[in-house]
Amino acid sequence: MFRHSQIVRPHSLDDYFISLLKTIYKNQNISAEEVSQWISSPPMKTYYRVNTIITTPSDVVASIQEQLLKLKCIKCKDDLPSVKVHKYLDDCIVISPIKKSLLDIHPKNEEIVVDIATGQSVLRGSHIFAPGVMAMAPDIKIDSSISVYADLAKECKRGYQKHYKNPLKMFVGNGIVKMDRRQLFSGDMNPKGVAIEITDPLSGIPAFTLPETHGLLQNLPSVVVGHALDLKGKNLKVLDMCAAPGNKTSHIATLMNNSGFIDAVDKSKTKLKKIEQKCEDFGLKNVKIHHYDSLILIDTNNRNNELNKPPFKKDSFDRVLLDAPCSNLGQRPLLKIEANENLIKSFPILQKKLFANAVELLKPGGILVYSTCTITFEENEQTVAWALEKFPHIELIKIDPVIGSSGLLDSGLSEEKCNLVRRFGPDDVENDSIGFFIAKFIKKSST
């Protein structure tokens, strides 16, 4: 064995992406290299959003603490990571990382290889589920201790049996085998369940397991989005325009305490099943799910007389969430970055079409929250600037609670308006999370 003390990232950034980073953060005294380091590293804090309909934050804190005490790397209570309720969000648990120590790396006949997405999840504190495993040596047995590598080259074939020598593989942590080769690769092409229990992620982010009914791991900005909608009113009618996989939908329903009505719309029929499952697990009964395209969500010809079924009439909703499709350049860790200029430039076109529909569907006096999980100007501040010019009957308003940084200057918004939007990025050390953007509007009058 040998020991590994830091995250080594054998990846490279293309010239376009480096140029993009320099443009975005040119006034933040942050180099493109520092931003790329931030993007390719996982957030050091873990956030767990509690389903308060089923359980309480204090019970969840106690359960997580009990599990962390059993981790091999925890020698005493003094080493136990901090587990506490967020100071502004009473349904969000914040878990700090484990104190970093050197990790033993197992020899090559005691390693497995996973795909990039799974490697990223391990660094975020997740166990490894069966579909993510690409390679495992034949003599690895259940309950064996192994080291885990992510295949950044995307060249490892599923079921590979030999030692995978590609230099573009990245050590992400150690774990215990719970499924062998026969279970993973023989017969059933869709194996399910936890294949590897992670005991020591390289990032120091602890892994734990809670009942699916109790809540879910959720990025901090996504939790802020739910609270930004101001859902304390009675019998609110809410629209979630791009709802899958349903994390924000379930949060909205929970904050409404199963009152009012939520129409969750998504054009992916497969992804809608995830929303249905989440609502069932969480005991949510105020969500109606629709397989529909939000680009054609407005009933322009009064052709639909059925209530709660798309297309919807204008001025129908008290709250609208547009968590827009985006370039996803804020997701962390991004272990392999393949920025495509044409693809990135296509998103603002789609986002503006969806935004126009969101404004039309919102009632006068209603609230619209727009969010993305990316860092570009075009999809964030510039879209807000466009919206304020295009729709003079909407107004940008303050997001409460105030979490995250202000929008970036020289991006299309005045300093006053930059202070109203929330941006999460490498300059926001206190709220170390993914790259994200949130803007909140009120509709002053009908069109």
pLDDT digits 0-9 by tens, 160-170: 998 999 988 99
Active-site residue flag, 279: no
CA distance 259 to 253: 8
Q: Which three-class secondary structure state does DSSP give residue 175?
A: strand
Predicted structure pTM score: 0.91
In words, the CATH class of domain 219-443 is: alpha beta
Residue whose token pair is 């409404």 = 256
pLDDT of residue 16: 81
Lowest mean pLDDT among 48-52, 118-122, 238-242, 364-368: 118-122
More confident residue, 446 or 2: 446
% of the chain surpassing 90 pLDDT: 68
- Label residue 427 by pLDDT band (50, 70, 90): confident
Domains of the chain, residue spans: 103-201, 219-443
Count of residues making up the chain: 447
More confident residue, 19 or 367: 367
CA distance 76 to 88: 30
Residue 322: name the closest of 270, 271, 366 by CA.
366
Q: Looking at domain 103-201, does it have CATH number 2.60.40.10?
A: no
Beta-bridge partners for 47: 94
Supply the DSSP string of 182-230, one letter for each residue: HHHHSS-SS--SEEEEEEEETT-PPP----GGGEEE--HHHHHHHHHT-
- Label residue 207 by pLDDT band (50, 70, 90): confident
* Options 92, 242, 373, 418, the catalytic residue: 373
More confident residue, 435 or 9: 435
Residue 429: name the closest of 44, 31, 92 by CA.
44
Q: Is the model's pLDDT at 237 over the cut of 50?
A: yes
Q: Taking the CA atoms of the chain, what radius of gyration do you get in angstroms? A: 23
pLDDT of residue 8: 46
More confident residue, 262 or 300: 262
